[in-house]
Amino acid sequence: MTSSWLKKTLTRLAAPGKPPVPALSDGEVASQIRIIRAHMMAADLEAARSLLDGLWQSNPDNADVVAHLGACVYLAGEREAATPILAKAFAVDPDHAFAAKFLAAALSATREDDAALAVARRAMELNPNDSQVFSVAASMLLRRGQFEETARALNRALEVEPEALKPLEQLEALSVISTVKRSIYEGSPKIAEARRRNINRLLALERKKKLDAESLSALLALLEGGEADSFRMAAKIAHANTDFADMTATLATQLASIFWIEGKSREMLAKRELALKLDAGNRTLALGLAHAQLMLGDDHWKGAWQTMTDVLFHSRADMQPQGARLWRGERLGRETLLVYQDQGIGDAIIALRLLGHLSARKIAWKLWVLPALSDLAAQCVGEEHVLRLPTLPSAKDAGVTFACPLFGLIAALGLAPRDVRAPHPGSGAASRLALAPGDLGALRSPRIGLLLGGNPMRRDDWLRSPSIAATQALTAIGGVSWVNLMIDERPLREHIGKTLAAHDPMPGVKNFADTAALISQLDAVIAIDSSTAHLAAFLGKRLWVLAPSMLDWRWQAGELQSPWWPGARLLRAEAPGEWKQAMATLVTEVREFVKTQAPASP
């Protein structure tokens, strides 16, 4: 499709005037449209364009003609140019299913999400048996963080077209972004079967080296989302294709994801840099590179935090206060700044230390965190600062103009790594915490808290939580009063209760303030990468972290040095899901620690 033809088309759209040739009848138009559709399905856009040019001149206000013209422009890769053409068709006939489908896709491609979602919802009503429509809608819903609605759209897409690959890939993306196992979102066991068939089909092509970049990326994504055996297969294929001849940004990103999980820092960084080079300006890829840079050190500290703040604030409607402007460090005068939690509980605990910098600069601020964290936050930063609301308030409800996510304070205040590397950011906080139910004073010292498993519904649980067999090594440590800090009901919790005679006060714990009060009574904590580990570090406790093989800016920069909790001892899994060496080191070090602790009388 030539640019001159497109320019002429858009000029006619702006001022169609009187048709230069006699209008065709509806029957004649319909006959021509059938031929045009056949050309479009055969990817012969030049032939379709030639016919559409004539129809456009004779019937410029026919919704069918305009819709197919817009679809032809869209399929030629001119997404932005296609939008006004498709919008005209949809305005002429709001019930035109074809126009609604392609207009939703064009708006989505140009990131006009609010308009795109409205059109997509209408398109789903008009095209109840078109898998592609539900897939387009799912992309926008996922970008907005509407996970349950995303899952419903993808389930419908697979119900309509059970062997469709795109919705299966989108289910993987939903699982990655939400951190929830993909099976939670699958409404039918048929989806798992469809995934298995697609994987087998793609594996057969991969063995013959007949996969293009798009299909190879899909295969790696489907395999990565499984557990240990499936991931190992993905890793093997990834390493065999690290220099794939026709590399795309999508494939480079998928390779980076696998290298990240393996803990291969240089390979991961190289692929994230390549992905952004191949698709310059892509905000999601810029966010991925910023994460990678923070994992590996402080060299890109300022720019990486600015990128992370900007991308998350502007791309996730569910993670920002409606109507608020992002604060970048402007003078506020007498205005109050809303600081809010936009990440997980553990991240919020890390970032609480940043709030003191606002007070030091005499900036008035209010904090919103999830209800589970509000008691702890109030005790640490002062009740007067905490907005106790069940959901993130709008700018109007909070009475503010500016808002900033907790970690956004780093960029807004120009904080350097040295500004956040306090040895014990939470020192003194424990003295302000009321004792939770389950006072541990009756237990002999040393009292060591254990959190060896997280939420079993998390996608990465197999990477984060050691197996029962791996944790059996702890039975070799004597002279300890073990205390369970795990809240999730899983076999491992019952196992440590029996094999280690662990005291379990967690049934009486209601929130993180209660958990903090329990940890304040412990001599040390052993935990997987979790909010509880961050809380123990916040309280300045002796801490061993069983970190997974994957790289993480929260615990490490470079190799084992953590910029956030330098006093924590990081023991990484030697490979994804493998903990034998880490557990052996842990046993040795905890034994030495126990020797230094004089047991107190109960």
For 335-387, the pLDDT digits (tens) are 999 999 998 899 999 999 899 999 999 999 999 999 999 999 998 899 999 99
What domain count does the chain have?
4
CATH number at residue 509: 3.40.50.2000
- Is the residue at 18 inside a domain? yes
Q: Confirm whether 587 is domain-assigned.
A: yes
Same domain? 218 vs 337: no
Are both 272 and 175 inside the same structural domain? no
What is the model's pLDDT at position 599?
A: 56
Instruction: Evaluate whether residue 313 is within a structural domain.
Output: no
* 602 within domain boundaries: no
Residue-level pLDDT at 13: 57
pLDDT per position as a tens digit, 238-293: 999 999 999 999 999 999 999 999 999 899 999 999 999 999 988 889 999 999 98
CATH of the domain at 168: 1.25.40.10
Output the CA–CA distances (angstroms, integers) from residue 467 to 454, 470, 551, in the order listed.
12, 5, 20
Q: What pLDDT does residue 567 have? A: 83
**Other CB atoms within 10 Å distance of the CB of residue 378:** 18
The pLDDT of residue 426 is 41
512 and 577 in a common domain: yes
Residues of the domain holding 349: 318-420
Same domain, 29 and 176: yes
| 600 belongs to a structural domain | no
Give the chain's residues under pLDDT 50: 1-2, 423-437, 600-602
Residue 601 lies in a domain: no
Do 130 and 168 belong together in one domain?
yes
Pick the last residue of a domain from 394, 420, 446.
Answer: 420
CB 571 within 8 A of CB 416: no
User: What gap in Å lies between CA 452 and CA 602, rounded to an integer?
Assistant: 26
- pLDDT for 319 equals 78
Phi/psi for 421 (5° steps) reads -95, 50
Structural domain includes residue 425: no
Is residue 86 within 8 A of residue 123, CB to CB? The reply is no
State the DSSP string of 416-450: -HHHH--S-TTTTTGGGSPPPSS--TTSPSSEEEE
Whether residue 160 sits in one domain with residue 37: yes
pLDDT in the model for residue 210:
95
Q: For residues 126 and 17, state if they share a domain.
A: yes
357 & 219 share domain: no
Do 475 and 552 lie in a common domain? yes
Considering 278, 308, 338, which residue would you say is the last residue of a domain? 308
pLDDT at residue number 424: 39
Distance CA 305, CA 296 (A): 14
Are 125 and 267 within one domain? Answer: no
Give pLDDT, residue 15: 55
Does 332 map to a domain? yes
DSSP calls for 68-107: HHHHHHHHTT-HHHHHHHHHHHHHH-TT-HHHHHHHHHHH
Query: Could you say which of 392, 420, 448 is where a domain stops?
Result: 420
Q: Does 442 lie in the same domain as 363?
A: no
The string of pLDDT tens digits covering residues 72-111 is: 889 888 888 889 989 999 999 999 999 999 999 999 888 7
User: Within this chain, do residues 369 and 345 fall inside the same structural domain, yes or no?
Assistant: yes
- How is the beta sheet containing 542-547 ordered, strand by strand? 481-484, 447-451, 524-528, 542-547, 569-572
